[in-house]
Structure 1
Amino acid sequence: MRTTLDDLYFVITSRQPWEEKNLGSNIRDMARCLSQTYKVLFVNDPMDWAAAVSKKSGRAALRNEFLATHNGQHLIEVANNLWVLNPKSVLGSYNWLPDNFIYDWFNRQNASRLAAEIRSAVKQLNWPSVVLLNDNDMLQGFYLKELVKPALYVYYLRDNFLAVNYWKRHGERLEPALMQKVDLVASNSIYLTNQAARYNPNSVYIGQGCDLTLFKPASGDVAPADIARIPSPRIGYAGALTGLRLDGDLIEAIARRRPDWQVVLIGHADDSFPKERLDALPNITFLGSKKPADIPPYLAAMDVLINPQILNEVTIGNYPRKIDEYLAMGKPVVAFKTETMSLFENHVYLAGGIDQFITGIEEALTGQELSTPQARIAFAHEHTWENSVGALVSEITKRLAAQPQTT
């Protein structure tokens, strides 16, 4: 029987744990949005040997806490129309193997165990047929089309994972092959859509959704004490501080060339970020991590918001959700120019280098704005999950309608 718009059931696989609350997640937001209309099963990232024994990652402890909260159940209805499956299987950790038939054999064994749990959950929920949405996982997801047999298999390409060594080791071979065999590749980035189209003509851009509920200019009526004591002008960034995605040299150049500016950085700094070097400069202040709900008052207290993104294979095609969050606060924004960022060219100062980046900040501080605060806010609010998920569902139903009907 052919799946139709009236009976869509979604199974979502992802390497992002459902229970992680401190980091934003495209796929969790998409799952919640889809569940407003359709039934959705989110398959939690299964434990593997490495995660099960590692105390440093904290994944096992977080999963056990999540299970304990739900009385040890592995299939949990977390909201209306939305279930989370916590796989019981502990998968093998095989990424260290050479990229050959031996790895493929073990990887398929992992996929077989995961697929069996998915099929069992679908049967328990009494769903007749499913659309399988794979969140950018070219490894565990490689064999799921054959093993789960969904009505439609969609690969959601939201980041260039192949720039990261863990994924590159086997993904450099497997991701193109996976994109060739799925029914649809959907991406939040024009750049990544064009990359996917080399392997699958059914590659579509569905835009990016954002939950901007918290990001309101009025949230800055009272500045938090730790930022209120920093003099203006404040040039700010809020997000993960990692050398993989941020340009420490750019941040240093801004601070050194304009000692009258205060650069304020909010977020956790990992070992790859030059925190010690930057912290030595008198006009750079690290305010540490903040809860997501506490971020908007800090953004409101900034004079200009920046995304000092380093341009590399990881970042060149990604969609930075923080730009929409910044714009929703009505603030002037400066970022580096990329194909994806061209979407924002009427509202964001787009720089081609360090000199242009600093000039963009100067122009914003002197009121040479590209658009009004009201226009920036309105533009950000065009990027809703309803629009992005709506575009995805539209593409899915087109392809389901084109399938030959069976009885």
Structure 2
Amino acid sequence: MESKMIKGRDILVVGLQPWDIAIGSNCKNVAKELSQFNRVLYINRALDRITLIRSKNDPKVQTRLKSLKKETDDINQIGPTFWTLDPRTILESVNWIPFAPVFDFVNRINNKRMARQINQALDRLGFKNVLLFNDNEFYRGQYLTELLPAVTDCIYYSRDNIATHPFFIRHGKRLEPSLMRKATMVVTNSDYLEDYGRRHNPETYNILQGCDFERFFPSTPFTRPEEMAGIPGPIIGYMGALIVSRLDIKILEHIAASRPQWSVVLVGPQDGTFRKSRLHKMPNVYFLGNTTEVRVPQFIQFFDVCLNPQLVNGMTIGNYPRKLDEYLVLEKPVVVTETLAMKMFDGYIYQCKTKEDYVENIEKALAEDPNSEMRKARREFALTHTWETSLGKMTTHFQALKQAQ
């Protein structure tokens, strides 16, 4: 069957995550999928002054500096029809500016600096009739549709309510709606975000979440990661970034304290609050650090129960964590915090309102028959959430919109 995907376009991708980010990224997956049928240019985040000062030794910062000094090419080809751009510019750090008019003035300067680099790259690659795909970049992408003459269409992708994040909340609540109104179309990965987007652009559609399942079905069985050697079962595991704005530390503490015979295994990078948390003093809690995207299923395979102890706030209430599909495709029982976005998983996961619910539901999950039909049903449900399906939905809406114009 022929893939239903946007085809034959030159596509420009901007977002919050650079191509060389260590963890997985929706933006990267979308760009990779689109590059099968289109030419794609993926823009890495340009350096800003504060990042340059604070994180000069970071490998990603060093990569941008080498491009800036013209020691390396700014355009790098990573596939037959896929390039990345390391913009040769430094942006002003603007988020601290409290006054909207001053912020907008400096932010427009930043956008112009970015646009100058992107325009040069588009010319060098011969990109025409460009479709701009913007993944939650409502600061540095605010004026790009106006500053890039080759751009004829813009799809804004809202996969997180990022505007409510403490870093963005000062200006995000006005800038994201502004960008949504400018877009040809807005796409989201949950009903909650679709309702939010539709308030600002009637052409807003929920295309659900995509997931790359190829790495979950290796030719040989997974082996137990050496990092998990010696950890006793049952293993209650979480895979992903350990960030206090998204996860409820108290839930994890309660699980570990209530059932010392369980091993709580956490795989992913930690923020400062997690590094200082009481969890590090609990003997049955194991921090295994970050891992590569390709090893994610290897760890999950050896979890007995998978967690998503989400903190409920404006940013997470409509969030669709793709880790749920990664858990489910390996037929794992999953215990999560109940939110509006979790309704679509009813019948496949255990949902909790309190930390006490977590312990009760984990016990139910541990008691499951490993050969039950529910395990197979979880896998089949997850497999309906591919990137091909998600971007196929986007294509259907986009083509209908273009035909109606």
TM-score of the pair, normalised by structure 1: 0.90
**Contact between 2:207 and 2:394, CA under 8 Å: does it hold in 1?**
yes
Residue 53 (structure 1) aligned with residue 53 (structure 2): yes
The equivalent of 2:41 in structure 1 is 41
Separation (CA, whole Å) in 2 of partners of 1:395 and 1:115: 28
* Worse overlay, 224-233 or 85-94: 224-233
Residue 114 (structure 1) aligned with residue 121 (structure 2): no
RMSD: 2.5
Unpaired stretches in structure 1, ≥5 consecutive residues = none
The equivalent of 2:297 in structure 1 is 296
Separation (CA, whole Å) in 1 of partners of 2:276 and 2:323: 21
Query: 1:98 Cα shift?
Result: 2.6
The equivalent of 1:270 in structure 2 is 271
* Worse overlay, 296-305 or 378-387: 296-305
Separation (CA, whole Å) in 2 of partners of 1:355 and 1:104: 46
Residue 283 (structure 1) aligned with residue 274 (structure 2): no
The equivalent of 1:136 in structure 2 is 136
The equivalent of 2:200 in structure 1 is 199
Separation (CA, whole Å) in 1 of partners of 2:17 and 2:380: 30
Separation (CA, whole Å) in 1 of partners of 2:68 and 2:109: 25
Separation (CA, whole Å) in 2 of partners of 1:225 and 1:110: 45
Q: Which amino acid aligns with 1:43?
A: I
The equivalent of 1:390 in structure 2 is 392
Q: Which amino acid aligns with 1:372?
A: M
Query: 1:53 Cα shift?
Result: 2.9
Separation (CA, whole Å) in 2 of partners of 1:219 and 1:380: 21
Separation (CA, whole Å) in 1 of partners of 2:225 and 2:20: 29
Matches within 5 A, 1:213-292: 213-216=214-217, 222-273=223-274, 276-292=277-293
> In structure 2, do the counterparts of structure 1 residues 326 and 201 end up closer, same or farther at CA, with 3 Å as the change threshold?
same
Query: 1:190 Cα shift?
Result: 1.7
> In structure 2, do the counterparts of structure 1 residues 378 and 46 end up closer, same or farther at CA, with 3 Å as the change threshold?
same
Q: 1:92-126 deviations in whole A, cap 9, x for unaligned? A: 22222233222212211221222222222222222
**Contact between 1:152 and 1:400, CA under 8 Å: does it hold in 2?**
no
Q: 1:374 aligns with which of 360, 373, 376?
A: 376
**Contact between 1:346 and 1:371, CA under 8 Å: does it hold in 2?**
no
| Aligned partner of residue 323 in structure 1, secondary structure | helix
> In structure 2, do the counterparts of structure 1 residues 147 and 257 end up closer, same or farther at CA, with 3 Å as the change threshold?
same
Query: 1:6 Cα shift?
Result: 5.6
> In structure 2, do the counterparts of structure 1 residues 258 and 217 end up closer, same or farther at CA, with 3 Å as the change threshold?
farther
Residue 181 (structure 1) aligned with residue 182 (structure 2): yes
> In structure 2, do the counterparts of structure 1 residues 71 and 401 end up closer, same or farther at CA, with 3 Å as the change threshold?
farther
* Worse overlay, 98-107 or 59-68: 59-68
> In structure 2, do the counterparts of structure 1 residues 145 and 283 end up closer, same or farther at CA, with 3 Å as the change threshold?
same
> In structure 2, do the counterparts of structure 1 residues 394 and 9 end up closer, same or farther at CA, with 3 Å as the change threshold?
farther
Q: Which amino acid aligns with 1:87?
A: P
**Contact between 1:209 and 1:387, CA under 8 Å: does it hold in 2?**
yes
Q: 1:55-106 deviations in whole A, cap 9, x for unaligned? A: 36724214346899x9721222210111112211222222222332222122
**Contact between 1:220 and 1:298, CA under 8 Å: does it hold in 2?**
no
> In structure 2, do the counterparts of structure 1 residues 216 and 350 end up closer, same or farther at CA, with 3 Å as the change threshold?
farther
Q: 1:334-377 deviations in whole A, cap 9, x for unaligned? A: 11111211121121111222232222111111116885322222
> In structure 2, do the counterparts of structure 1 residues 103 and 337 end up closer, same or farther at CA, with 3 Å as the change threshold?
same
The equivalent of 2:326 in structure 1 is 325
Q: Which amino acid aligns with 2:363?
A: E
Q: Which amino acid aligns with 2:207?
A: I
* Worse overlay, 112-121 or 381-390: 112-121
Query: 1:395 Cα shift?
Result: 2.0
The equivalent of 2:94 in structure 1 is 94
The equivalent of 1:27 in structure 2 is 27
TM-score of the pair, normalised by structure 2: 0.90
* Worse overlay, 188-197 or 44-53: 44-53
| Aligned partner of residue 83 in structure 1, secondary structure | strand
Separation (CA, whole Å) in 2 of partners of 1:71 and 1:57: 17
Q: Which amino acid aligns with 1:90?
A: I
**Contact between 1:219 and 1:296, CA under 8 Å: does it hold in 2?**
no
**Contact between 2:66 and 2:72, CA under 8 Å: does it hold in 1?**
no
- Identity between Structure 1 and Structure 2 (%): 38
Separation (CA, whole Å) in 1 of partners of 2:64 and 2:37: 28
Separation (CA, whole Å) in 2 of partners of 1:365 and 1:5: 44
* Worse overlay, 121-130 or 383-392: 121-130
The equivalent of 2:315 in structure 1 is 314
Query: 1:239 Cα shift?
Result: 1.6
Matches within 5 A, 1:144-183: 144-149=144-149, 150-183=151-184
Matches within 5 A, 1:65-80: 72-80=72-80
* Worse overlay, 206-215 or 291-300: 291-300
| Aligned partner of residue 214 in structure 1, secondary structure | helix
**Contact between 2:67 and 2:87, CA under 8 Å: does it hold in 1?**
no
Give the total of aligned pairs.
398
Residue 210 (structure 1) aligned with residue 242 (structure 2): no
